[in-house]
Every structure is written in C-alpha cells, then in structure tokens.
Amino acid sequence: MTGTGGTGNTATERAALERALSELDARLATDAERGHDARRRCEQLVEQLRTPAAAFLRPELERRLARHVDAGDSFARDRIAHALAGACGQDALPALLRAMVTDRNDDEATLQLDVLNLFTAWPETSLRLSLECAASDDPGTRMVGLWSLAVIDFGGDTYFGLIADAARDPNPAIRAHAMTTLGTVFGSPPMRTRTYATPRTKPWRSRRGDPGPRR
C-alpha cells in the first residue's frame, strides 16, 4: 500500500509539473510585452519547474530552448534555460552552452548567469564540456568554449595557451575574441603563446569567486 501511495504521489507531481510547463508555454506565447510584468507572470511557473523532480521534462525543455534560440526570442529562451538549469543541474550544461552560441548578452538576459552558476556548482563537468567546445569545428561553438575557459581559469594561466593559439584562428571573429580575452582577462599580449602551450594542473577557479592575483 505504501508503494502504491508513493507511485500515486509521483504521478500527481509529474502531472502538476507538466501542467506548469504547458501554462508557461501559453504565457510565453501570449505575453507580447516582454517587460517586468511578463517576467513576474512567468516567475512562479519557472520556479515550480526548478526542481529535480522536473528532470524528466529535460527533453521537452531542451526542445523548447532550441526553438526559442532559433526564433531569436531571448526572453522565452532565458525563462526555459532557467527552468532547465534548476531541474537538471549539470545535465543542462550542454544545452545551455549550445544556446550561448547565439547569445548577445542583452540587457535583462540571464542565460549567461545560469551558465556561470552551473560552472560554480559543477566545475569538473564544466571544464570537460568547455574543452570539447573549444575543440569544435563550428566557429560559434569554439568561441563559447574559449569564453568558458577564460571564465573557469579567470586570473590564471592554465589555458592561456589555448586562447592565445586562437588569436591565429582562421575565423576573424574568433581571432578578435581571443585578442580581447588576452587583453582583458589575462592582461597579456599573445607573445606568451608558447610559454603555456601545455596546460598544467591547478585548482579550478570560478569567475564568481576570488580570481586570485593576476600574473
């Protein structure tokens, strides 16, 4: 009897979460004005979905995230990304990093903040995925990988060589991004490229934490 009750409670909770997602879809589709009021109307539903119990909705959330990214709807994208991050934790990172490819970090956008929070909570997964992105054949994905490595190693030099090498990338946007990163994050010109060509092991450091002394 106990087992049956538990199963019933789980089914009830899942049904409530599915309804919350459907209602969020409806609000995102009908809120023409994407200001504070629209955000407030969606907030309760998003928070309801930000629970490990909603992890079963991951495929649905990822499909919605990809659709809003393709549509260029940063408001809806950020609401779904926030729900996905809260429900799935580190398992949400691949989808959120894909969404970052077209991110312009607009005013009011929160996608980048969700990614940074996941970096802080799951450093090993974050580093592995960031290195995979940096090695991608897709220029946009490579740029996300370089940004991620600069954040993860903020103020350090473990991945300096990878970013310095990107200053010679065939893609001009990546070259420009690498040069900017070298100057603003590492505070060094690309002359140091070969000095740290082989990454060394050192403690992971979050951009949101103490970056330590600059070298």
Residue 65: closest CA among 21, 127, 2 = 21
3-class secondary structure, 55? helix
CB 146 within 8 A of CB 163: yes
pLDDT tens digit at each of 215 positions of the chain: 444 555 667 999 999 999 999 999 999 988 656 667 777 889 999 999 999 999 999 999 999 999 999 999 998 999 999 999 999 999 999 999 999 998 866 656 789 999 999 999 999 999 999 999 999 999 999 999 999 998 998 877 788 888 889 999 999 999 998 888 887 766 654 433 333 333 333 333 333 344 333 43
Amino acid at 169: D
The separation between CA 56 and the C-alpha centre of its own chain, rounded to angstroms, equals 20
Query: For the CA atoms of the chain, what is the radius of gyration?
Result: 20
pTM of the model: 0.79
Beta-carbon count within 10 A of 72 CB:
10
